[in-house]
Amino acid sequence: MSHQPVIDGFEFATAGATQEGKLPLAGFPRLKDQLVSDAGDVKYALRGVLDARGRPSLRLSVRGSLHLRCQRCLGPLTHDVDAEQILVLAGSQEEIDAEPAGVDEPDRVVAGKEMSVRDLVEDELILALPYAARHEDCEPGLVCGASQGSGYGICQCPGLPAPVAPLESCYDAEAG
Ligand SMILES: [Zn+2]
């Protein structure tokens, strides 16, 4: 399936067009490094709007679950993303650079005739990543082998579907 949804930015925005769909997580090369598993899809909805100042913009919402690795116990961690963002279109990078960046300013993006929806969604997902992915209450003390960098970790956080590896197999792996 090589079909990539693309939009003409300004036309999409001024026409108030909408597009929604699903994209496989496996199709996001920049996000992949962060994921324990790239199984699953994210849903997106894109709508052409005008921002508070009447500028053509895209309102993008993304929803899905990312499978990250807990930075503390190295167990799998499901991070639910439900984000919405307004991207104000610009004619060129110079136009964006000329404007002072303010904390309250919406994000700008250079409009194109063939903007990749996948890239926009991937940007949004990367923005939604936590700075440091961690379970709320896991114990680094339960990690077996992980502290030695062997990559084996056990998380006993409640609600986790399964530990990464049983303790015995960690011992086996370290002994072997
Ligand atoms: Zn954890």
- Name the percent of the chain in helix, strand, coil, to the closest 5: 25, 30, 45
Position with higher pLDDT, 168 vs 58: 58
Please tell me the number of Cα atoms within 13 Å of 26 on its side-chain side.
3
Whether the CB-CB separation of 70 and 46 falls below 8 Å is answered with no
Tokens of 126: 């990367």
Interior/surface letters 49-74, b for 16+ CB within 10 angstroms, e for the rest = bebeeeebbbbbbbebebbbbbebbb
Going from the C-alpha of 170 to that of each of 76, 146, 162, 164, the distances in angstroms are 16, 9, 15, 10
CA 76–ligand 1 middle distance (angstroms)? 7
Q: Which pLDDT band holds residue 71 (cuts at 50, 70, 90)?
A: confident
Which tens digits make up the pLDDT trace of 74-96?
788 999 999 999 999 999 999 99
So what's the pLDDT on residue 3? 58
Which tens digits make up the pLDDT trace of 1-15?
445 789 999 999 999
Which tens digits make up the pLDDT trace of 107-153?
899 999 999 999 999 999 999 998 888 888 887 744 443 344 444 44
CA 140–ligand 1 middle distance (angstroms)? 8
Task: Give the contacts of 23 (CB within 8 A, at least 6 positions apart).
Answer: 41, 42, 44, 117, 118, 121
Whether the CB-CB separation of 120 and 137 falls below 8 Å is answered with no
Q: Which pLDDT band holds residue 101 (cuts at 50, 70, 90)?
A: confident
Q: Which pLDDT band holds residue 28 (cuts at 50, 70, 90)?
A: very high
CA 136–ligand 1 middle distance (angstroms)? 7
User: What is d(CA 82, CA 62) in angstroms, rounded to the nearest whole number?
Assistant: 6
Q: Where are the domains of the chain?
A: 6-134, 138-176
Please indicate, yes or no, whether the overall pTM of this predicted structure exceeds 0.85.
Answer: no
CA 83–ligand 1 middle distance (angstroms)? 23
